[in-house]
């Protein structure tokens, strides 16, 4: 006969699941907004070393990158209380086009130790670009 209480204790001890919460932030950028001032938007949102490279990118790509940078900045402010400019956030893409967050500036990285855990996604329609930033955070359990 199995003692249910001790069996349950063994399972709980063997698998320690800590409660987590996923925080996500979605930013929506109208393509028309970026189209009106693409060069200005690029200069405001990207470091100078990236400006010339981005000028040749399609409008929807630039709008998506701006949207996801805004989402990351919103996440940093909401979760960590860190204000950052869009120019401090650098992105790259994998060989198959998956967006990746590059290391944040040293000033920001020191205040957001879990920056590598931030997940990003970019999407767009014919009229809007969408940027999503999400992170899992442990919840404290009281009781």
pLDDT along the chain (143 residues), means of 10: 38 55 92 88 86 85 94 92 91 89 83 87 96 81 44
Total number of domains in the chain: 1
pLDDT of residue 139: 59
CATH number at residue 58: 3.90.470.20
In which domain, by residue range, is 41 found? 26-138
Handedness of CA 41, 37, 48, 57 (dihedral sign): positive
Look up the pTM and report it. Answer: 0.80
pLDDT at 59: 92
Any domain includes 2: no
Say what the pLDDT of residue 17 is: 62
CA-nearest of 33, 26, 44, 25 to 127 is: 33
Q: Which residues contact 91 (CB under 8 A, 6 or more apart)?
A: 65, 68, 69, 99, 100, 101, 102, 120
């Amino acid at each position: 006969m199995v003692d249910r209480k001790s069996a349950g204790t063994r399972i709980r001890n063997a698998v320690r699941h800590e409660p987590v919460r996923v925080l996500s932030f979605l930013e929506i950028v109208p393509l028309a907004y970026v189209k009106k001032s693409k060069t200005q938007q690029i200069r405001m949102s990207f470091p100078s070393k990236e400006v010339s490279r981005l000028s040749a990118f399609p409008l929807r790509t630039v709008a998506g990158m701006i949207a996801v940078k805004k989402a990351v900045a919103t996440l940093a402010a909401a979760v960590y209380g860190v204000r950052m400019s869009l120019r401090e956030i650098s992105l790259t893409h994998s060989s198959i086009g998956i967006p990746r967050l590059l290391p944040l500036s040293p000033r920001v990285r020191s205040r957001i130790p879990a920056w590598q855990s931030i997940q990003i996604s970019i999407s767009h329609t014919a009229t809007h670009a969408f940027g999503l930033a999400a992170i899992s955070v442990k919840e404290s359990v009281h009781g």
